[in-house]
């Protein structure tokens, strides 16, 4: 310490003593006295101050967090790291509350190569503030250094969870590209835009990884989307995209746009823009099999007509709506191209925050940072639907989830469910759930309750929206929920990875998360007003096409329940099967059922001999080709119509036919229907006079149930390499014969 500063301190001391003498400390309130004394101690002997905290934790922490932060700062300034570490760990809840101090301490510890202690300090910082970004980031960096890639990736995921700002999300994106950690299927995404959309990439990356996909991105150079689309040899097509997002700004495609147009100018512009977009889409479709998602058009400014806009025919906003309607209408017949409702993203986030004129003028960015997370969430719906990551069934708790209160305690009349709060939140949530069944999503109940208590509400409560017949399965008992959920999956014949679990009880959620990680367990917020929004924010229920089967599904599962009851009542299995009155029809598939076939190819896991995930254009190609046969399979029985549940692809050779694919929905497994299906293929082979029928089998994680399929039908093993087998049947020598309980619809037989 220098001489002058020393003398300065001395004179301060003298002054302080003089002040003390005046202030008669004993007459001050005791907590103020204590505070003064402790503050003095901090400034003169911080090490001792730490000891005092350890000896009198209650009294000192009672002084409030400010003083803890002061002590922490002084210790750090004097580089008393050991004492600082001791202090930061000393009392719970933490005495030092400024997370910045923790970060500084951890950095200093790292410089001293005391990494383990630094980690400890950062964990304490997360105790104070679970959203402390710098702590998460530092922990990530340390974990990466340790080479623990999976743990490191978890820290990155947490970082993106607590902070959706571009800097945080793009940091996560860059690190993940560098680490190339993580497993999952790849997906190739191209972005074509007339404006700057680079910012979306990190957000889209984040959503992909949440869905278990590892994305690769291609972005067309600024404003070169047209060249990229028109040139078959362009980088776009060389990239082989699976999904292409096309984002065009209205002023970019039609610079002469003016809100003051006459009616005929509006019409002309609308037609020209529609043609331009459709032209692009057709060019893409002719060169790529990718799913093309075109953003609908939106604008920054306002209507020039003001309050007259609904009285005049040439209103700009009406024109814009008509333009988007036109495009949607025109694309409806394009199986691989969609119009994405950009305005529903923008409206949700807020137009003022989403469309910031300055960002557009300054950086060519028409969609501003606050809208990017939501835009990415909307975009991922298309990707998940394409990749078959759609969930099929929502398993619901009852008390606290579908209604308020515990029915076992308050009785059916006492639960909160009705037109006013509390109660309306649950009614509205049920409405949203029921809406999902229109897309073919199933609902099931899993509740710890006396069945009678719960059923009284479900059957008779006047405001219950979802009734008994709308649940595909119900488990209301006192068994543990993991067992119940496994049973639901078995009853419905779907995989655990098709289930979503919604329960207000965090303990039940944790149990399912640990025991059944394949099930998607939803973090239901504490506040029931947020239930509906939580459900609607989920991106797991989208389909690229709604088939008749999707709409019928709920009814089919209820019929299944009746079938199950009949099975329990039947005397013998044979009698039961006879009683089902199963009728099967098989045809060569036509184009009308194309989207259902593609859905089957991409969703069927268990009864799938080769699990080839054919996409639309491939199946369409097979249908056109003379060398292929594509079959479809329809099933009905006494209890209902199963619809189109199976398909097969046969490659025709001059002397042998090869069954390239054969698959069937697991809902109709175990009834001998597959044999009836194969009988038809066999019959066609006989008629075509080929001598051999080859059956392919490719083992997957999930198709164990059909491993012996060809052996069971008289085929013998021809070749066995890795997970791939060829089975052969001499046509004519050993016919395939369907079981007696299955009827074939006569008019359908024959080529």
Partner 1 sequence: MSVEEVVAKVFSVDPSEITDQSSKETIAEWDSMGHLSLITSLEDQFKVSLAIADAMEMTNVGQIKMVLKNYGVSL
What kind and span of H or E run contains 339?
strand 337-340
The nearest distance, CB 259 to partner 1, in angstroms, is 24
Task: Tell me whether residue 171 or residue 631 sits nearer to partner 1 (CB atom).
Answer: 171
Question: Which position has the token pair 């009814």?
Answer: 555
Q: Does 362 bind partner 1 (CB under 8 A)?
A: yes
Size of the site for partner 1 (CB under 8 A): 24
Whether residue 577 contacts residue 672, with contact meaning beta carbons closer than 8 Å, is answered with yes
Q: Does 97 bind partner 1 (CB under 8 A)?
A: no
Q: Which two tokens stand for residue 194?
A: 């007339």
Closest CA to 541 of 403, 392, 749: 392
The nearest distance, CB 364 to partner 1, in angstroms, is 11
The nearest distance, CB 460 to partner 1, in angstroms, is 53
Q: What backbone phi and psi angles, to 5 degrees, belong to 8?
A: -65, -45
Measured distance CA(357)–CA(192) in Å, rounded: 21
Q: Does 361 bind partner 1 (CB under 8 A)?
A: yes
The pairing of strands 213-219 and 243-247 is: unpaired
Measured distance CA(751)–CA(708) in Å, rounded: 28
Measured distance CA(247)–CA(194) in Å, rounded: 7
Residues facing 443 on adjacent strands: 394, 471
Tell me which DSSP letter residue 706 carries. Answer: G
Interface segment toward partner 1; rule CB under 8 A; list 103-111, 245-253, 267-275, 456-464 = 103-111
Q: Does 107 bind partner 1 (CB under 8 A)?
A: yes
Whether residue 415 contacts residue 528, with contact meaning beta carbons closer than 8 Å, is answered with no
Interface segment toward partner 1; rule CB under 8 A; list 26-34, 97-105, 273-281, 296-304 = 97-105
Q: How far apart are the first and last CA of the chain?
A: 103
The pairing of strands 393-396 and 337-340 is: unpaired
User: Other C-beta atoms within 10 Å of 205: how many?
Assistant: 25
The nearest distance, CB 363 to partner 1, in angstroms, is 6
Count Cα atoms within 13 angstroms, Cβ side, for 253. Answer: 25
Measured distance CA(35)–CA(67) in Å, rounded: 8
Whether residue 544 contacts residue 595, with contact meaning beta carbons closer than 8 Å, is answered with yes
Interface segment toward partner 1; rule CB under 8 A; list 82-90, 99-107, 281-289, 512-520 = 99-107
The nearest distance, CB 346 to partner 1, in angstroms, is 17
Q: Does 359 bind partner 1 (CB under 8 A)?
A: yes
DSSP E strand boundaries for 400-502:
442-448, 471-477, 499-502
Q: Does 165 bind partner 1 (CB under 8 A)?
A: yes
Q: Is 318 exposed, middle or buried (0-12, 13-18, 19+ CB in 10 A)?
A: middle
The nearest distance, CB 104 to partner 1, in angstroms, is 7
Contacts of 438 (CB under 8 A, 6+ apart): 551
Task: Tell me whether residue 170 or residue 296 sits nearer to partner 1 (CB atom).
Answer: 170
CA 372 to chain centre: 16
The nearest distance, CB 170 to partner 1, in angstroms, is 7
Angle at 168 between CA 166 and CA 173, to 5 degrees: 90
Interface segment toward partner 1; rule CB under 8 A; list 32-40, 96-104, 430-438, 553-561 = 96-104
Whether residue 657 contacts residue 631, with contact meaning beta carbons closer than 8 Å, is answered with no
Task: Tell me whether residue 356 or residue 430 sits nearer to partner 1 (CB atom).
Answer: 356
The nearest distance, CB 320 to partner 1, in angstroms, is 27
Q: Does 218 bind partner 1 (CB under 8 A)?
A: no
The only residue of 35, 104, 392, 596 in contact with partner 1, by rule CB under 8 A: 104
The only residue of 53, 99, 110, 133 in contact with partner 1, by rule CB under 8 A: 133
The nearest distance, CB 109 to partner 1, in angstroms, is 14
Measured distance CA(147)–CA(513) in Å, rounded: 26
Interface segment toward partner 1; rule CB under 8 A; list 118-126, 359-367, 664-672, 709-717 = 359-367
Interface segment toward partner 1; rule CB under 8 A; list 9-17, 64-72, 100-108, 468-476 = 100-108
Quick one: the chain helix, strand, coil %, rounded to 5?
55, 15, 30
Q: Does 111 bind partner 1 (CB under 8 A)?
A: no
The only residue of 5, 262, 311, 358 in contact with partner 1, by rule CB under 8 A: 358
* Binding map of partner 1 across residues 167-206, x = CB under 8 A, - = no contact: xx-xx--------------------------xx-------
The pairing of strands 291-295 and 243-247 is: parallel
Task: Tell me whether residue 169 or residue 649 sits nearer to partner 1 (CB atom).
Answer: 169
Task: Tell me whether residue 76 or residue 299 sits nearer to partner 1 (CB atom).
Answer: 76
Torsional sign, CA 461, 465, 468, 469: positive
The nearest distance, CB 168 to partner 1, in angstroms, is 7
Contacts of 292 (CB under 8 A, 6+ apart): 243, 244, 246, 281, 284, 285, 334, 336, 337, 338
Q: Does 369 bind partner 1 (CB under 8 A)?
A: yes
Contacts of 5 (CB under 8 A, 6+ apart): none
Task: Tell me whether residue 111 or residue 734 sits nearer to partner 1 (CB atom).
Answer: 111
Interface segment toward partner 1; rule CB under 8 A; list 53-61, 166-174, 239-247, 515-523 = 166-174
Whether residue 85 contacts residue 112, with contact meaning beta carbons closer than 8 Å, is answered with no
Task: Tell me whether residue 196 or residue 473 sits nearer to partner 1 (CB atom).
Answer: 196
Interface segment toward partner 1; rule CB under 8 A; list 15-23, 356-364, 552-560, 612-620 = 356-364
The nearest distance, CB 118 to partner 1, in angstroms, is 14
Task: Tell me whether residue 136 or residue 681 sits nearer to partner 1 (CB atom).
Answer: 136
The nearest distance, CB 256 to partner 1, in angstroms, is 24
- Check whether the bond before 422 is cis (ω within 30° of 0): yes
Task: Tell me whether residue 76 or residue 247 sits nearer to partner 1 (CB atom).
Answer: 76
The nearest distance, CB 133 to partner 1, in angstroms, is 6
The nearest distance, CB 222 to partner 1, in angstroms, is 13
Question: Which position has the token pair 């697991």?
Answer: 666
Interface segment toward partner 1; rule CB under 8 A; list 161-169, 407-415, 652-660, 729-737 = 161-169
Q: Is 344 exposed, middle or buried (0-12, 13-18, 19+ CB in 10 A)?
A: exposed
The only residue of 328, 363, 406, 465 in contact with partner 1, by rule CB under 8 A: 363
Q: Which two tokens stand for residue 43?
A: 């400034």
Q: Does 137 bind partner 1 (CB under 8 A)?
A: yes
Interface contacts to partner 1, rule CB under 8 A: 100, 103-104, 107, 133-134, 137, 165-168, 170-171, 198-199, 356, 358-359, 361-363, 365, 368-369
């Amino acid at each position: 310490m220098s001489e002058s500063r020393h003398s300065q301190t001395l004179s301060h001391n003298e002054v302080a003593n003089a002040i003390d003498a005046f202030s008669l400390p004993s007459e001050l309130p005791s907590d103020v006295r204590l505070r003064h004394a402790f503050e003095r101690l901090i400034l003169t002997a911080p090490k001792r101050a730490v000891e005092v905290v350890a000896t009198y934790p209650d009294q000192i922490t009672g002084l409030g967090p400010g003083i803890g932060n002061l002590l922490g700062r002084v210790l750090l300034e004097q580089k008393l790291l050991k004492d600082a570490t001791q202090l930061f760990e000393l009392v719970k809840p933490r005495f030092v509350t400024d997370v910045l101090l923790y970060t500084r301490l951890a950095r200093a510890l790292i410089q001293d190569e005391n990494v383990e202690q630094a980690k400890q300090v950062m964990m304490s910082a997360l105790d104070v503030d679970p959203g402390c970004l710098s702590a998460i980031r530092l922990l990530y960096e340390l974990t990466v250094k340790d080479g623990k890639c999976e743990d490191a990736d978890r820290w990155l995921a947490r970082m993106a969870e607590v902070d959706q700002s571009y800097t945080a999300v793009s940091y996560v994106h860059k690190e993940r590209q560098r680490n190339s950690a993580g497993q999952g299927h790849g997906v190739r995404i191209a972005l074509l835009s007339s404006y700057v959309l680079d910012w979306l990439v990190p957000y889209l990356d984040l959503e992909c990884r949440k869905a278990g996909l590892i994305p690769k991105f291609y972005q067309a150079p600024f404003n070169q989307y047209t060249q990229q689309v028109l040139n078959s040899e362009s980088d776009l097509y060389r990239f082989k995209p699976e999904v292409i997002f096309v984002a065009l700004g209205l002023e970019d495609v039609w610079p002469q746009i003016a809100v003051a147009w006459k009616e005929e100018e509006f019409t002309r512009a609308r037609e020209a823009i529609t043609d331009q977009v459709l032209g692009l889409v057709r060019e893409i479709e002719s060169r790529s099999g990718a799913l093309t998602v075109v953003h609908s058009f939106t604008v920054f400014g306002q209507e020039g007509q003001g309050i007259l806009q609904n009285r005049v025919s040439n209103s700009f906003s009406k024109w814009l709506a008509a333009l988007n309607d036109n495009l949607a209408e025109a694309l409806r017949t394009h199986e691989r191209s969609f119009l994405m409702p950009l305005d529903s993203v923008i409206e949700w986030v807020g137009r003022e925050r989403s469309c910031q004129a300055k960002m557009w003028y300054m950086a060519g960015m028409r969609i501003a940072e606050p809208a990017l997370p939501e835009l990415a969430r909307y975009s991922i719906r298309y990707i998940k639907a394409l990749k078959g990551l759609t969930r099929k069934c929502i398993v619901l708790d009852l008390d606290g989830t579908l209604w308020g209160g515990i029915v076992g305690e308050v009785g059916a009349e006492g639960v909160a469910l009705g037109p006013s709060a509390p109660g309306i939140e649950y009614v509205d949530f049920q409405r949203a759930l029921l809406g999902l069944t229109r897309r073919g999503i199933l609902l099931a109940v899993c509740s710890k309750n006396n069945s009678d208590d719960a059923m009284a509400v479900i059957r008779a409560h006047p405001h219950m929206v979802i009734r008994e017949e709308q649940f595909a399965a119900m488990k209301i008992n006192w068994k543990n929920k993991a067992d119940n959920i496994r049973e639901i999956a078995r009853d419905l014949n779907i995989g655990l990875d098709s289930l979503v679990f919604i329960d207000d009880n965090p303990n039940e959620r944790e149990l399912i998360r640990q025991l059944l990680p394949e099930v998607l367990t939803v973090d239901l917020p504490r506040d029931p007003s947020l239930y509906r929004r939580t459900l609607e924010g989920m991106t797991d229920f989208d389909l690229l096409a709604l088939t008749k089967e999707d709409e019928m599904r709920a009814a089919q599962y209820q019929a299944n329940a009746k079938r199950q009851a009949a099975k329990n009542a039947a005397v013998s299995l044979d009698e039961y099967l006879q009683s089902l009155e199963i009728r099967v029809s098989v045809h060569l598939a036509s184009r009308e059922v194309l989207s259902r076939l593609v859905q089957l190819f991409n969703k069927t896991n268990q009864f799938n001999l080769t699990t080839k995930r054919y996409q639309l254009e491939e199946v369409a190609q097979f249908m056109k080709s003379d060398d292929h046969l594509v079959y479809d399979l329809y099933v009905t029985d006494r209890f209902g119509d199963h619809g189109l549940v199976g398909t097969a692809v046969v490659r025709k050779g001059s002397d042998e036919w090869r069954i390239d694919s054969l698959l069937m929905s697991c809902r109709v497994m175990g009834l001998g229907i597959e044999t009836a299906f194969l009988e038809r293929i066999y019959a066609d082979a006989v008629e075509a006079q080929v001598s051999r029928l080859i059956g392919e089998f490719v083992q997957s994680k999930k198709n164990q149930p059909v491993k012996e399929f060809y052996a069971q039908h008289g085929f013998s093993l021809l070749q066995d390499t890795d997970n791939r087998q060829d089975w052969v049947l001499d046509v004519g020598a050993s016919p395939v014969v369907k079981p007696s309980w299955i009827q074939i619809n006569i008019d359908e037989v024959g080529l």
